[in-house]
Each structure stands twice: as C-alpha cells, then as structure tokens.
Amino acid sequence: MIVEIKISFPLRQYIPSSVRRLEGGKWDIPKGTKVLKMVEMLGLTEEKSKSLLLLVNGHHVDRERVLDDGDCLHVFPLISGG
C-alpha cells in the first residue's frame, strides 16, 4: 500500500540521509503498518516520537493508528512557549 510522508524541516537533521532523500515521496509499506512503525522507518526513535505531532490526512492521530492506502502522514516537532 502507498502512503505519502512529509517531515517538518527542523526534524530533518535527525533523519538519516538515506531516508531523507525519500521524504515527501510515496512509500510502499506493508498493510497494517502503524504510525509508530512508520516513524521508526524514518529513523526516529520511539522516544523521539513522543515529542512529535503526528497528522494523518490533516487530523491529529495516536502513534498506534494503522495507516491506510493513500494516507498522508505529516511529522512535526511539538512546539512550546509562553
């Protein structure tokens, strides 16, 4: 199944260059792949994923959500301030 991945610029420094070149493209992943597994496939650790905002098709999702064919996963760092 095919999903599209978009990674926020500040996170690109954590992604291995071999994976970074695939960012923004379509990925062929196994059916039943969860968001957390996709984040790990990007080279981000599970610990790092706890500080990410994950959107699928524009909606905030849990890391355990199963991706569907045609989904678009956006990965952003959480931002705090005051």
Compute the average pLDDT of residues 54-58: 95
Query: How high is the pLDDT of residue 27?
Result: 85
- Per residue in 62-82, pLDDT (tens digit) is 999 999 999 999 998 887 555
What band does 48 get if pLDDT is binned at 50, 70 and 90?
confident
Is the separation of the CB atoms in 37 and 72 below 8 Å?
A: no
CA atoms within 13 A on the CB side of 78: 8
* Ordered structural domains, the chain, with CATH: 2-77 (3.10.20.30)
DSSP-derived letter for residue 57 is: T
pTM here is 0.81
Query: What number of CA atoms fall less than 13 Å from residue 38's CA on the CB side?
Result: 36
Strand partners, 73: 5, 56
41-62: average pLDDT: 85
Q: Encode pLDDT of 2-44 as tens digits.
A: 999 888 877 777 676 666 555 557 888 899 999 999 888 888 8
